[in-house]
Amino acid sequence: MAVWFRDYNLAEINRLSQGTMLEHLEIEFTEIGADSLTARMPVDHRTHQPAGVLHGGASAALAESLGSVAANLCVDPNRKYCVGMELNINHLRPVKKGWVIGTTTPLHLGRMTQVWEIKIYTEDRKLVAVSRITLAVLDKQ
């Protein structure tokens, strides 16, 4: 059974990125499963640190984006919205070029909080980072 509030398609999910940091970093949602959301991000001049490898903050931006968007797809957008409360990330492998792919799955979908796990891989499935985000589920006023 899907965790989403309703059926979503990738085009409408990607439209959420317009005019945001996600668009600037070229984060693109590529797959939605029954309980997972996947996106990719280029490793290039926008996401490098001075040493020429993927910046940890860029990985964190990918992780937070995945968890936040997924959380918001689980609630009635007319009544609720989700915002990040805490993000942690462990950086495991440097990446110099190509794409990183992140997938998020829920650990807890509560009435007032959600917790999502995010795993980020290289294109050849080498684990780059693991992350967890906790989000507050808030009422729209």
Best CA proximity match to 82, nearest among 125, 138, 120: 138
For residues 53-79, average pLDDT: 98
pLDDT above 70: residue 56 = yes
| pLDDT tens digits for range 90-105 | 999 999 999 999 999 9
Tell how many helices (H) and how many strands (E) occur in the chain: 3, 6
Domains of the chain (ranges plus CATH)? 10-139 (3.10.129.10)
Cα–Cα dist 25/62, whole Å: 9
Residue of 28, 31, 64, 86 marked catalytic: 64
- Which ranges in the chain belong to alpha helices (H)? 10-15, 21-25, 56-73
The torsion angles phi and psi of 22, rounded to 5 degrees, stand at -60, -40
Tokens of 16: 């959420």
Q: What is the pTM of this model?
A: 0.97
Is residue 123 part of the annotated active site? The answer reads no
Average pLDDT, the chain: 97
pLDDT above 90: residue 1 = no
